[in-house]
Amino acid sequence: MRTIPAQTTTLTTTEAVALGVLAEGERSGYDLLKRVEASVGHIWSPAKSQLYAILPRLVDAGLARRRTVRQETRPDKQLYTLTPAGKRAVRSWLEHTEPRSFDELMLKVFFAKLVPRAALLAQLERAREEQLAALEEYRAIERNISGKPASRYGYLTLRYGLELMPCRVQWIERALKELSR
Amino acid sequence: MRTIPAQTTTLTTTEAVALGVLAEGERSGYDLLKRVEASVGHIWSPAKSQLYAILPRLVDAGLARRRTVRQETRPDKQLYTLTPAGKRAVRSWLEHTEPRSFDELMLKVFFAKLVPRAALLAQLERAREEQLAALEEYRAIERNISGKPASRYGYLTLRYGLELMPCRVQWIERALKELSR
DNA sequence: CCTGTCATGTAAGAAGTTACATGATTCA
DNA sequence: TGAATCATGTAACTTCTTACATGACAGG
């Protein structure tokens, strides 16, 4: 069983998302999941059982507080709120960990109102560089195989990369422009 | 420890990729990993330890055969080849399991030479429908929030979806056209 | 009457990551 | 002298998925 370190605050993506949603206000595990599915669900959606496993852990780590609401016809509700330490932890995740995928960057954008705008801009700029670097890499591969009787299917997947990277860069640049205003 | 069922053949993505690469010819775990990283590495790359864990499992399931090559200055080489059952297993994965993400679809494209072209076309067409459905969903969300003082950052992530889906659809349609010729 | 919503979780196991361990050879 | 390549793996741990378990109430 994982114990979240109190000071070091290395959050997993799922923990960060849970805290990010809790930053909006008090929620039960049930509501939290609904909310996640309706917002960042296409990017990140943990299994129900995992959310229920994570929430008590957040409490143990001092990142969230729990309050029980008695109910008669249903199981008691466990309502969770963010503590100041919890807020610091999400912020630190948003600002200081580099996203491991583009989807994770999207999560950071989604929860960006929790951090100074400059922090988001920095994340976006770094991501932009990464996409451009990948594009360069793909172009180098393309140059390498052009002429040779390369695999047709391999080329198709490569082409997706060659189209996806500019699409991402464009999106990032527009976001940067709008956010800088 | 997982045991791969012999007949049911439910492969994980990592197993499928390993078998897909082995279909190109005999390889050691070491070479396999290099090959994966140099080809589908941006889409899928298992940890070294995981590959080494999977390979004996494939042998146990009768999907691969192992041959040991003695070496003096280095650890002995374990060379793996695909068995007919292994080939059937990858094919079945390519044809009959629905991809859980777009990246997984890309893997199926990459290894598509192992199956009849019609199988790939079917996968691509299904994926096209899915991207269009997601696009419709995103547009509905957009209509819903337009006018309202929605979250700025939420809108940014939504917009990425609104741009990504057409990019994917375009790629799919071009691939379909080229492969139908 | 049956499906869906509300509301919580447990149990079992698979899948995956990170770090550790070894050790010769080659090339800059 | 130090890093990279070749070549295998184990150990410890975390994460995640799937299935199970319960049970009232509302709406078509």
Residue nearest to nucleotide C23 (CA to C1'): B74
Q: List pLDDT tens digits, range B14-66.
A: 999 999 999 999 999 999 999 999 999 999 999 999 999 999 999 999 999 99
Residue B139: list chain A partners with CB under 8 A: none
Residue A160: list chain B partners with CB under 8 A: 106, 171
Cross-chain residue pair A42–B151, CB shorter than 8 Å: no
Return the closest nucleotide (C1') to the Cα of B45: C16
Return the closest nucleotide (C1') to the Cα of A14: D15
Rounded to a whole number of angstroms, the distance from the CA of B110 to the nearest CA of chain A is: 5
Rounded to a whole number of angstroms, the distance from the CA of A83 to the nearest CA of chain B is: 23
CA nearest A130: which of A102, A92, A160, A96?
Answer: A102
pLDDT band at residue A149 under the 50/70/90 scheme: low
Is 70 exceeded by the pLDDT of residue A139?
A: yes
Q: List pLDDT tens digits, range A52-106.
A: 999 999 999 999 999 999 988 888 999 999 999 999 999 999 999 999 999 999 9
Query: Which bases of chain C are under 7 A from a protein CB atom?
Result: 6-19, 22-25
Phi/psi region, residue B25 (left: phi>0; alpha: psi -120 to 50; beta: rest), is left
Residue A110: list chain B partners with CB under 8 A: 153-154, 157
Is 70 exceeded by the pLDDT of residue A6?
A: no
Chain centroid to Cα B130, Å, comes to 17
DSSP one-letter string for A70-97: --SSSPPEEEEEE-HHHHHHHHHHHHHS
- A24-36: average pLDDT: 96
